[in-house]
């Protein structure tokens, strides 16, 4: 089984300003209001689907790309956020 190798840096949770599904979580500067100082999510077990790489693949992308391609696309997005 292929899984997303998240390193827990929290960078994705610090750049949610362009994600309409997370508008209510944005503190006004792009940071999720549920991101703790240690980069953990205080609602991790109840986080929205948009925050779940595997769930989003199952719901929206499994019919149009392989899981490996999807994971690689997410890794590329992660790298770009880290370079900002």
**pLDDT tens digits for range 35-55:** 999 999 999 999 999 999 999
- Residues 6 or more apart whose CB falls under 8 angstroms from that of 10 comprise 35, 39, 40
Query: What confidence score (pLDDT) does residue 6 get?
Result: 95
Query: What confidence score (pLDDT) does residue 41 get?
Result: 97
What is the 8-class DSSP label of residue 18?
T
pTM for the whole structure: 0.89
41: β partners = 35
């Amino acid at each position: 089984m292929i899984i997303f190798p998240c390193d827990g840096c929290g960078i994705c949770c610090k750049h949610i300003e362009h994600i309409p599904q997370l508008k209510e979580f944005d503190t006004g500067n792009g940071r999720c209001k549920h991101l703790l100082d240690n980069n953990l999510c205080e609602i991790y077990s109840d986080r929205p689907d948009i925050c779940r790489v595997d769930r989003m693949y199952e719901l929206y992308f499994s019919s149009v790309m392989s899981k490996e391609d999807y994971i690689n696309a997410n890794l590329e997005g992660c790298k770009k956020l880290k370079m900002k």
